[in-house]
């Protein structure tokens, strides 16, 4: 009997960040999901951020050319492809094998900053080999 691996559902089913939560809840063990989903202290900054984003509205402009647009900028004297980066995620190695290096690689490939967590389970020198432009959370 041949074993068939069920293909993963396409990422196109995720239309916003909130769509990832039910999938993550099913995939990760409860303590790991709680660590990822949780926020510091009373979750005040998470709630404040959600309220701030709720006040923003995007105005769609149909058939407008975006070919000359760029979100590239400089952050602390470094050219980056977008004004965002990967924030420090403590013990990300619990979520994925070699998680910190995977995040560092993704940031390097996207041309955005990567901030290694002070509670990383990966040696700083190993991440430095993957992405020499990384930052470190102290």
Distance CA 100, CA 125 (A): 12
Widest CA span in the chain: 59
Report the pLDDT value the prediction gives residue 3, as an integer from 0 to 100: 46
Mark out the alpha helices in the chain (DSSP H runs).
20-27, 30-37, 44-54, 99-110, 124-130
Report the pLDDT value the prediction gives residue 82, as an integer from 0 to 100: 95
Report the alpha-carbon angle 33-137-20, nearest 5. Answer: 25
Give 99: exposed, middle or buried? Use CB within 10 Å, 0-12, 13-18, 19+.
middle
pLDDT in tens, the chain (138 residues): 444 545 566 677 888 888 989 998 998 899 888 888 888 778 888 899 889 989 998 888 788 888 888 999 999 899 999 999 999 988 888 888 899 999 999 999 999 999 999 989 899 999 999 999 889 998
- CB–CB of 131/104 below 8 Å? yes
- Tell me the Ramachandran region of residue 14: left when phi exceeds 0, alpha when psi lies from -120 to 50, beta otherwise: beta
Enter the pTM of the model: 0.70
């Amino acid at each position: 009997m041949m074993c068939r691996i069920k293909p993963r559902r396409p990422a196109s089913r995720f239309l916003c960040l909130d769509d990832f939560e039910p999938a993550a809840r099913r995939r990760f063990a409860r303590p790991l999901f709680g660590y990822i989903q949780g926020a510091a202290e009373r979750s005040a900054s998470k709630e404040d951020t959600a309220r701030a984003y709720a006040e923003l509205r995007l105005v769609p402009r149909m058939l407008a050319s975006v070919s000359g647009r760029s979100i590239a900028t400089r952050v602390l004297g470094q050219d980056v492809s977008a004004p965002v980066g990967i924030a420090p995620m403590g013990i990300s190695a619990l979520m994925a094998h070699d998680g910190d290096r995977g995040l560092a690689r993704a940031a390097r490939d996207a041309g955005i900053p990567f901030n290694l967590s002070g509670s990383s389970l990966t040696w700083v020198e190993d991440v430095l080999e993957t992405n020499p432009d990384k930052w470190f959370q102290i």
